[in-house]
Structure 1
Amino acid sequence: MSALTPVAIIPRKSNYRTDNLIQMSSQLNNQLLIENSQEVQLVIGKKPIEVNIQIKEMESNEILFPENLYSEFYLPVKQIKFHARYSNDIHTLHLGPVIALLTDIKTSGKEVPHFRSIHSFCEELHHGISENGGFFYVFTYRNFTAQGYFFDNGKWHSFVPPLPDVIYNRIHSRRLEYADDFAIFRKKLIELNIPYFNDRYLSKWEVHDRLINENHLQPHIPETKIFSKENLVDFIKRHETVFIKPIHGSQGRNIFKLIKEKDLYSIKSSITSKPEEFSNPFRLEDIYQHIQPLLNNRIYILQQGISLTAYESRGMDFRVLCHKTVNNNWHVTSVVARISAEDEFVSNIARGGEILAPLIALGSLMSKKDAKETLTRMKDLSIETAAALSFQSPGIIGELGIDIGIDQEGNPWLIEVNSKPSKNFDDGLLKIRPSAKAIIQFCTMLAFDTSLCN
């Protein structure tokens, strides 16, 4: 992607409604390499407008914008930092990026929006994009082009939004992504040539199916099969521990854990209301009839249980956040250890788990040197997993949350991959976290050079 120039658009009053004169310094005009053309096509988001450029003695990084142009571009009338790039062959000045986050929104009686578990994250993105350069808003696909929300003076404001340069998908519901009207919305984005990532939720089986043929990843993937009576019997005969997970599950919900105890088997579950009989051990031939009715005709997978290291006798795994860079490579933006609650076998924060710095967690089990080496292996495995999955998956993938466990010999195991990782935890040390900065950089790349994301 060619170099971008940071600028700020500044509103100016105008005496007439069709004022299309923008003003900039000769220094900025030269920096953008605008050659002898007073009239150019100005593009913000997906909207082009013919404007005239007037050279004026002023700050070198500012562009004076008539207020009516703000309205024509569907932007609030205020100073906005942007990146700029001029294409001399088509006489087009592109200011951006305009970044939109897609989610499902709750509103109160006064129409104050709430973005559920990503509400604070949306504010974080707003601040990061405003500081870096760009305009950010949140919308629902059913109100696409009709209503969005931008943040200003500590509040979210409703407005008619511009068509964005790029859309970041954070819909909470798999069901919504399969709806007919969502398919119509996706088709519209293709027609408008608007890049859209992370395309959709990835099922656990889909992830397994795409990674299992990667020879270098195979040693790190637990044996996995679709749940059936025959596969269940086979698994619990061969493995001391077996997990049963919904292929579309999240946040550690509706998972079963089978543990072999001599000739009997105990069942643990993260379902909301556990049957009383789960407190008793079962014979092999009785397990299926007790579990199958609780699956509610949904598709589940069977996963080999690995004997993972624990933290103070509590379950532990590691969430590795990976993001795609401007060079179309993957890198790790954060790692946290997730420690399960006292009475839980899953480590998800949504089920009472807590987070810990990875080297502190690993340091309780091994030497400082071994802990650093193990963390490096986890990062390497995560990057290899992200690269393989994004290469094999349709659509644009820009971030992944990868869950890794460490076995008793210190080997990393790939437990799960999440295409919409939680935003409720991270290292917490910076106002704008590295994961948010990575998303902003990726969106900027998509906005100015979509060829790089193919």
Structure 2
Amino acid sequence: MKIGIMTNFNRPTRLAELTAIICKYYDIEVIYLRPRDVNIEEDKVRGKVLVNNSWLSIETEIPPFIDIAPYCYKRKNQEITTYLRNKTFLSDNRDNVLSKQKLQDKLKSTVEFSDIVIPTQKIYSINDIIDFLDKYTKVVMKPTNGIRGRGVYVLEKKNECYYLGYQKESVTLTYKELEDFFQENIKDRGFILQKHISSRTVQGDPFDCRVHVEKNQDGEWTSAKNYIRIGIGQKVISNVNQGGGISELVPFLKSNFEDEWENIVKKINELSVTLPRKVEELRNTHIMSLGLDIGIDENGSLYLFEVNDGPATATLTSEVAVLRSSYYKYILENCINTSEKYSTDREVIKKDYLIIEKKLNDYMKKNYELENQLNYYKKKYLSIENSTSWFITKPVRWLGSFKKK
């Protein structure tokens, strides 16, 4: 039996390779492909399959199931994705996609999730920002289609001054300068306003909890991993792509919420099952993977920052590969009509599994070593960044893009 994994990357990803290895245990062949590898006229795809640790080119029929990355749904691929919607079973067909604001609005009207909703509003004019500031004093501005924390600003009003923060920088603006910033960076670019939630460590760094959920071997939602992302030295968000770090959930909560950590863990575990079901219900379509970004204020209350339907997997590649492989088997056995049967030679499968298990352990060991190296270089980088010479020579580049002379 064949399934497809579709992304925009020319070379198969590490996740695709590890998933392909594990899928061999289930007698499933993974075909790695990109949108442009689909031949609509011939009803075929030209992809790659993993054979003896090498990816070899192959031409074959459209797989009955394709795990498609949301980022493949670009305008240039519209003909191909429309064709695939009608031809095969997709992990996400992008029906009824909810914007960040629309999701918050829908959850606000529910009994079970209204308490985690953050007040949110779309930005149409500078007056929207001023009125929102008058109501909440400190707000967050971010694009509705933002990825990995790009373009996220925090804005606070004190007396007649406005304090604007971005990544690790902050600047004080007059009303005129704020208006100029709005015209050049926010207007007509699909930004929303949110009430600022103070989700910070005892050291004052912003953090959030990433709850990465996947479908399992029974077709049910389960947590692949819950972990904390800390924005070390950042002004706005806990973005590891901008110099932050990650932490295991329980040790972090024990250090920052001594009296409430057990209750917080319980609430996060409950949310990891109930919220994905609700999102899938609201979209009225099939979804396979979600990343829930949860803020935790000083009182231990949870707030939903946003839901990502294409969550990053770099920090939990092994966990995701194991879950997705077993879920592919569930899909093929329960959701797709096929006459193909799985191999009954259990001795061959058992032998292959031992080989796969060894490779998986090797991958996990390598991943652990790389994480240790990454943490080492982050510490070295932070020590350099915090040095006097670095501080003196560092220009405030981002301010120059909008502040008038």
TM-score range (shorter-chain normalised) is 0.7 to 0.9
Retained in 2: the 8 A contact 1:317–1:338? Answer: yes
Letter in 2 for 1:442: Y
- Whether 2:183 is the aligned partner of 1:292: answer yes
- Whether 2:121 is the aligned partner of 1:225: answer yes
- Whether 2:49 is the aligned partner of 1:156: answer no
Residue 374 of structure 2 corresponds to none
Residue 16 of structure 2 corresponds to 122
Q: Secondary structure at the match of 2:77?
A: helix
Retained in 2: the 8 A contact 1:245–1:256? Answer: yes
Retained in 2: the 8 A contact 1:236–1:242? Answer: yes
Retained in 2: the 8 A contact 1:325–1:442? Answer: yes
Residue 242 of structure 1 corresponds to 139
Residue 415 of structure 1 corresponds to 305
- Whether 2:89 is the aligned partner of 1:198: answer no
> How far apart are 1:382 and its partner, in Å?
3.1
Taking the TM superposition and a 5 Å limit, the aligned residue runs for 1:287-326 are: 287-295=178-186, 297-326=188-217
Q: Which consecutive aligned stretches of 4+ in structure 1 deviate over 4 angstroms post-superposition?
A: none
Retained in 1: the 8 A contact 2:70–2:92? Answer: no
Q: How many residues align?
A: 329
Residue 28 of structure 2 corresponds to 134
Equivalents in 2 of 1:394, 1:168: separation in Å? 18
Equivalents in 1 of 2:36, 2:164: separation in Å? 42
Deviations 1:139-196 (A, max 9, x none): 1122112310112233322221342121111253xxx5242x533223323443x210
Give the TM-score normalised by structure 1: 0.67
Equivalents in 2 of 1:405, 1:247: separation in Å? 18
Greater RCO, 1 or 2 (C-alpha within 8 Å, sep 6+): 2
Q: Which of 328, 335, 339 is equivalent to 1:443?
A: 328
Letter in 2 for 1:223: P
Letter in 2 for 1:125: T
Residue 387 of structure 2 corresponds to none
Q: Secondary structure at the match of 1:146?
A: strand
Could you tell me the percent identity over the aligned residues? 20
Retained in 2: the 8 A contact 1:266–1:282? Answer: no
Greater gyration radius: 1
CA RMSD of aligned residues (A): 2.5
Letter in 1 for 2:265: L
Deviations 1:30-88 (A, max 9, x none): xxxxxxxxxxxxxxxxxxxxxxxxxxxxxxxxxxxxxxxxxxxxxxxxxxxxxxxxxxx
> How far apart are 1:296 and its partner, in Å?
6.5
Deviations 1:322-368 (A, max 9, x none): 1234544322221011011324522122222211101111111123x
Deviates more, 1:304-313 or 1:395-404: 304-313
User: Structure 1 residues 160 and 210 mapped into 2: Cα distance closer, same or farther (>3 Å)?
Assistant: farther
- Whether 2:314 is the aligned partner of 1:424: answer yes
Equivalents in 1 of 2:207, 2:51: separation in Å? 40
Letter in 2 for 1:237: D
Kindly indicate which of the two structures has a greater share of residues assigned to helix: 2
Q: Secondary structure at the match of 2:174?
A: coil
Provide structure 1 residue ranges, at least 5 long, that are not aligned to the other structure.
1-95, 107-113
User: Structure 1 residues 235 and 167 mapped into 2: Cα distance closer, same or farther (>3 Å)?
Assistant: same
> How far apart are 1:236 and its partner, in Å?
0.6
Retained in 1: the 8 A contact 2:213–2:291? Answer: yes
Q: Which of 399, 403, 426 is equivalent to 2:293?
A: 403
Taking the TM superposition and a 5 Å limit, the aligned residue runs for 1:8-407 are: 96=1, 98-106=2-10, 114-115=11-12, 119-144=13-38, 145-172=44-71, 177-179=73-75, 182-192=77-87, 194-200=88-94, 203-229=99-125, 230-270=127-167, 279-283=171-175, 287-295=178-186, 297-367=188-258, 370-407=260-297
Retained in 1: the 8 A contact 2:165–2:235? Answer: no
Q: Secondary structure at the match of 2:173?
A: coil
Deviations 1:373-412 (A, max 9, x none): 2112012123222111101114320110001011111111
User: Structure 1 residues 342 and 155 mapped into 2: Cα distance closer, same or farther (>3 Å)?
Assistant: farther
Q: Secondary structure at the match of 2:263?
A: helix
User: Structure 1 residues 352 and 162 mapped into 2: Cα distance closer, same or farther (>3 Å)?
Assistant: farther
Equivalents in 2 of 1:400, 1:292: separation in Å? 34
> How far apart are 1:291 and its partner, in Å?
2.3
Retained in 2: the 8 A contact 1:311–1:339? Answer: no
Deviations 1:219-254 (A, max 9, x none): 111100111223212211111321111110011101
Provide structure 2 residue ranges, at least 5 long, that are not aligned to the other structure.
39-43, 338-405
Retained in 2: the 8 A contact 1:165–1:195? Answer: yes
Retained in 2: the 8 A contact 1:202–1:418? Answer: no
Deviates more, 1:238-247 or 1:149-158: 149-158
